[in-house]
Structure 1
Amino acid sequence: MAIERVREYFKQWGLENRIMEFDVSSATVELAAQALSCRPERIAKTLSFRLGEQCILIVAAGDAKIDNAKYKAAFGAKAKMLSADEAEACIGHAVGGVCPFAVNGGVKVYLDQSLKRFGTVFPACGSSNSAIELTPQELEQYASSFSGWVDVCKNWRENG
């Protein structure tokens, strides 16, 4: 199970006990915000894309939307989200629990600027009922194959 991979991944830093599991689903931004009793924008959603022959992840604030023009400017290609089946096969986590931790080899992780306005955010941990609270700096430190900060989202600056 992917959450066990994530728990094992966090053991190298002694962070496995910071993973929260819920009795309810946290598979969407809205459900995660309810489970955590926080504002939806503080949910760090992880979006999966195909970029040429490679899969990439972009972690963004819950209220941010991918801006196609910014994405193309950053990556030189049109944004193509993975299907649910493709995401699990390529990333290693099923939709609803996709996260930037313990992902399959070769998957690059990018963090969107929309996360930097918060003291802490809540990414999933490999299952549809889990999360961990991290600062943006910790998220950068612990994300698998962290490849940089990007500015590829819209609609969040008004909510900051």
Structure 2
Amino acid sequence: MSLSSVQAFFATHAPDINVIETEASSATVALAAEAHGVEPDQIAKTICLRADDTVLLLVTAGTRRLNNRKFRDHFGAKPRMLGGEEVTTITTHPIGGVCPFGLPAPVPIYCDVSLRDHTIVVPAAGATNSAVRIAPEKMAELVSAIWVDVCDMPKPATEKKTQ
């Protein structure tokens, strides 16, 4: 159902965008980057959050981390991650395939400005082995997303200390 709802969404709203299905899983940022031959930051991960009584989807660049302070300043509430079962109920998408496309009911969608660092991003498409290649601005336009700045740059890898 989930993959088909995303395919139907693109058939109706952007028939020029094809849903890509791979043999390999793309359920994590690292797996998705490998499966689609892009940098991990180009993976557009979708997080299902609650801010007080409001459930929302936040789409962000793959290596970025949610900044709780920025989120709280913007939304006026602490972010709470939803459990897998609740995410699937709200989106119909399995964990690893969650995306802002083909939702059964309207949910507020926000895109973090980190996505604008890339000309093309690769969000999931309703299954753990499906995705689309899309310009961030086009994605935001298609799902009526609001742009926000609620994430941090990834922390640089720390060197291991030798003894």
Give the TM-score normalised by structure 1.
0.91
Q: Determine the structure 2 residue equivalent to 1:154.
A: 152
Task: Give aligned-pair identity as a percent.
Answer: 37
Relative to structure 1, is the Cα distance of residues 17 and 115 closer, same or farther in structure 2, using a 3 angstrom cutoff?
Answer: closer
Alignment gaps of 5+ in structure 1:
none
User: Would you say the 8 A contact 1:113–1:149 is kept in 2?
Assistant: yes
Task: Give structure 2 stretches of 5+ with no counterpart.
Answer: 157-163
- Is the 2:17–2:132 Cα contact (8 Å) retained in structure 1? no
Give, in angstroms, the shift of residue 106 of structure 1.
Answer: 3.3
CA contact (8 A) 1:29 1:43 kept: yes
* Contact 1:55 1:91 (C-alpha < 8 Å) held by counterparts: no
Equivalent in the alignment of 1:72: 72
What is the CA distance between 1:51 and its match in structure 2?
2.3
**SS of aligned partner of 1:110:** strand
The 1:157–1:117 alpha-carbon spacing in structure 2 relative to 1, beyond 3 Å, is farther
User: Any conservation in 2 of the 1:56–1:109 contact (CA below 8 Å)?
Assistant: yes
Contact 2:52 2:78 in 1 (8 A): no
Q: Does 1:110 align with 2:98?
A: no
**1:99 equivalent in structure 2:** 99
Q: Which runs of 4+ in 1 moved over 6 A?
A: none
The 1:136–1:157 alpha-carbon spacing in structure 2 relative to 1, beyond 3 Å, is farther
Which deviations, in whole Å up to 9, do the C-alpha atoms of 1:32-60 show, x marking residues without a partner?
Answer: 00100111000000000012333100000
- The answer for the alignment partner of 1:119 in structure 2 is 119
Give the count of matched residue pairs.
156
Task: Find the structure with the greater CA-based Rg.
Answer: 2
Over 3 Å counting, the alpha-carbon distance change for 1:89 and 1:45 in structure 2 is same
DSSP-derived class of the 1:59 partner: strand
RMSD of aligned residue pairs (Cα, Å): 1.6
